[in-house]
Amino acid sequence: MLNGLIILCAYLIGSIPSGLWIGKIFYKTDIREHGSGNLGATNTFRILGKKAGLVVTIMDVLKGTAAVLLVTLPVFSEVSIHSLILGIVAVLGHMFPVFASFRGGKAVATSAGVLLGYTWPLFILLFITFFLALKLTKIVSLTSMIAALVALIYAIVYYFVMGDVALSILVAFLFSFIVYRHRANISRIKNGTEPKVKWL
């Protein structure tokens, strides 16, 4: 019973459509009808500006962190589910949110939030990697995949040093999903038509 409840909570947390709600409540704009049509932070930055984009980014990150930390709540003290499984569920919730007709984002920020809740040093590494790569490339999609690759390399090395199988599996899963969700971006990058950020 508790296992099912905590999984549901993780999914519902991940399903919170930050970009949609911020856009509709404060800007009277449905960002799904503009730009890439994506509910993630990148499209929010593009359509609503820096302030909204930053707020949505933070909210999406915290969704992943909150899902991982559900196991620390007293009500869930007896669950037998690994916290990283809850992180994966939250990521799936972000990509296929019940509150937004199952049309969500690409899971980069929420995936980062999962890592923040589980191993913050990796999150810091990815934070630095992301902004350095973004500064150099100006392409958010490419930067996201670079950060995901760095996380995969870190997880593999960490496995051989610390033996954390769960982290390696999670990061491999997230890396695969992030690349898959960016397949259209990959084509545009190859063609030289991928949009570049103007706010950095």
The reply to whether 119 falls in a domain is yes
Instruction: Count how many domains the chain has.
Output: 1
**For residue 121, what are its two tokens?**
């040093």
Q: What is the pLDDT of residue 181?
A: 85
Nearest-angstrom CA–CA distance, 189 and 178:
15
**For residue 36, what are its two tokens?**
């890439």
**Confidence band, pLDDT 50/70/90 cuts, at residue 200:** low
**Confidence band, pLDDT 50/70/90 cuts, at residue 105:** confident
Helix, strand, coil proportions of the chain in percent (round to 5)? Answer: 75, 0, 25
Examine the pLDDT at 35 and tell me if it is beyond 90.
Answer: no
Nearest-angstrom CA–CA distance, 167 and 105:
22
The reply to whether 6 falls in a domain is yes
The reply to whether 39 falls in a domain is yes
pLDDT in tens, 90-101: 999 999 999 998
The reply to whether 197 falls in a domain is no
pLDDT in tens, 155-185: 999 889 888 899 999 899 889 988 988 999 9
pLDDT in tens, 128-160: 999 999 999 999 999 999 999 999 999 999 889
Examine the pLDDT at 199 and tell me if it is beyond 80.
Answer: no
Of all residues in the chain, the percent with pLDDT exceeding 90 is 72
Range of the domain at 187: 2-191
Examine the pLDDT at 47 and tell me if it is beyond 70.
Answer: yes
The reply to whether 198 falls in a domain is no
The reply to whether 108 falls in a domain is yes
The reply to whether 96 falls in a domain is yes
State the pTM of this model: 0.89
Examine the pLDDT at 194 and tell me if it is beyond 70.
Answer: yes
Q: What is the pLDDT of residue 163?
A: 84
Nearest-angstrom CA–CA distance, 60 and 45:
13
The reply to whether 200 falls in a domain is no
Residues 64/113, Cβ–Cβ less than 8 Å: yes
Examine the pLDDT at 119 and tell me if it is beyond 80.
Answer: yes
